[in-house]
């Protein structure tokens, strides 16, 4: 997402192309995009930059939340999902998407209707497996009998523990992956956000309560202690956050985003870290319920999602 959307000015296409190919060269093999990101620009980037290496990676994209006339729109009607898929296949320069998510559940459309259409995409050979994003365990269990759900993507990191309220267990029970987006807390646990005024004008974090001045000052005191744990473990804070996420279960996958080649390489090494169980337990305590100041999203956005919230 940050290569095209939401975190200020995206990098030049040449730099983004280099980063995507470097990721493949390192051994990354799971790439996650969406019709929403850059209102199609991110899918076009992937198609142009690494479409010729299509057999080297698992490709995931999303529908149900797109850009319409410059505005983000949630629309889960089957006809809209089908139109979005056809546009995505064209932009991605492929005839099949390995994992296709419903990016957001449109609460005006029964989840069974949206998932039923995604299942038809599988039957038609345009999609290999389907997933959901930002939904609760209850909604996952409603959807799964309609068509098997291969993956559920929710925000999960030491400072966003909401999946532990239901979906961490539910995904394990049905045999689905839990794909953790923002596993480094939107850069916060990498130490990249220390001043809200330093965020770019169009950065989505400016509207997120956790990054606003009063809350951020509280959260930075927790970050200092987290950074000490990383130093004592001989790794970078972002790597420690990723290692913590990966420790949550064999079915848990982390998808860190970055525009930095250095961070790309550091993130990839996190999977090899052997973090002491005592350190992981300290992280659990450091980020216990109520320790982080501010909600994940502003109230209007929280109303759009279905995932469990503390």
pLDDT of residue 201: 87
Q: Going by CATH, does the domain composed of 1-155 fall within 3.20.20.100?
A: yes
**Confidence grade of residue 70 (pLDDT, cut at 50, 70, 90):** confident
Output the average pLDDT for the chain. 97
Order of all β-strands in the sheet with 177-181:
30-32, 58-63, 97-102, 127-133, 149-155, 177-181, 252-255
Q: What are the sequence ranges of the domains in the chain?
A: 1-155
pLDDT of residue 32: 98
β partners of residue 203: 7
pLDDT of residue 289: 92
Residue 61: Cβ-neighbour burial (10 angstroms; 0-12, 13-18, 19+): buried
Residue 92: pLDDT over 90: yes
pLDDT of residue 240: 98
pLDDT of residue 302: 96
pLDDT of residue 272: 96
pLDDT of residue 275: 97
pLDDT of residue 142: 98
Average pLDDT over residues 149-158: 98
DSSP 95-130: S-EEEEEESS--TTS-HHHHHHHHHHHHHTTSEEEE
CA distance 183 to 216: 18
Average pLDDT over residues 109-131: 98
Average pLDDT over residues 177-185: 98
**Confidence grade of residue 60 (pLDDT, cut at 50, 70, 90):** very high
CA distance 9 to 7: 7
Average pLDDT over residues 48-62: 98
Pairing of strands 65-68, 71-74: antiparallel
**Confidence grade of residue 16 (pLDDT, cut at 50, 70, 90):** very high
pLDDT of residue 202: 86
Which letter, b or e, does each residue of 161-200 get, where b requires 16 or more Cβ atoms within 10 Å of its Cβ? bbbeebbbebbbebebbbbbbbbbbbbbbbbbbeebeebe
Catalytic (active-site) positions: 37
Percent of the chain with pLDDT over 90: 97
Instruction: Indicate yes or no: pTM above 0.85.
Output: yes
Residue 241: pLDDT over 90: yes
């Amino acid at each position: 997402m940050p290569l095209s959307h939401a975190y200020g000015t995206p990098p030049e296409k040449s730099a983004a192309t280099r980063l995507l190919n470097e990721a493949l060269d390192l051994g990354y093999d799971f790439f996650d995009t969406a019709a929403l990101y850059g209102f199609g620009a991110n899918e076009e980037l992937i198609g142009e930059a690494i479409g010729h290496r299509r057999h080297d990676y698992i490709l995931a994209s999303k529908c149900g939340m797109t850009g319409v006339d410059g505005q983000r729109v949630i629309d889960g009607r089957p006809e809209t999902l089908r139109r979005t898929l056809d546009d995505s296949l064209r932009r991605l320069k492929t005839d099949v998407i390995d994992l296709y998510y419903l990016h957001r559940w449109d609460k005006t459309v029964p989840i069974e209707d949206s998932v039923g259409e995604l299942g038809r995409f599988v039957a038609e050979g345009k999609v290999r497996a389907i997933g959901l994003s930002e939904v609760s365990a209850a909604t996952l269990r409603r959807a799964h009998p309609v068509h098997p759900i291969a993956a559920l993507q929710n925000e999960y990191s030491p400072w966003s523990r909401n999946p532990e309220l239901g979906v961490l267990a539910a995904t394990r029970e049905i045999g689905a992956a839990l794909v953790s987006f923002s596993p480094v807390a939107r850069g916060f646990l990498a130490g990249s956000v220390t001043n809200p005024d330093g965020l770019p004008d169009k950065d989505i974090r400016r509207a997120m309560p956790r990054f606003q001045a009063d809350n951020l000052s509280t959260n930075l005191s927790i970050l200092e202690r987290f950074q000490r744990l990383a130093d004592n473990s001989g790794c970078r804070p972002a790597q420690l956050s990723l290692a913590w996420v990966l420790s949550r279960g064999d079915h848990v996958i982390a998808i860190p985003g970055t525009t930095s080649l250095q961070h790309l390489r550091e993130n990839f090494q996190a999977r090899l870290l052997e973090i002491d169980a005592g350190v992981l337990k300290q992280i659990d305590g450091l980020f216990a319920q109520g320790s982080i100041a501010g909600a994940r999203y502003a109230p209007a956005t929280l109303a759009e999602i279905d995932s469990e919230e503390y």
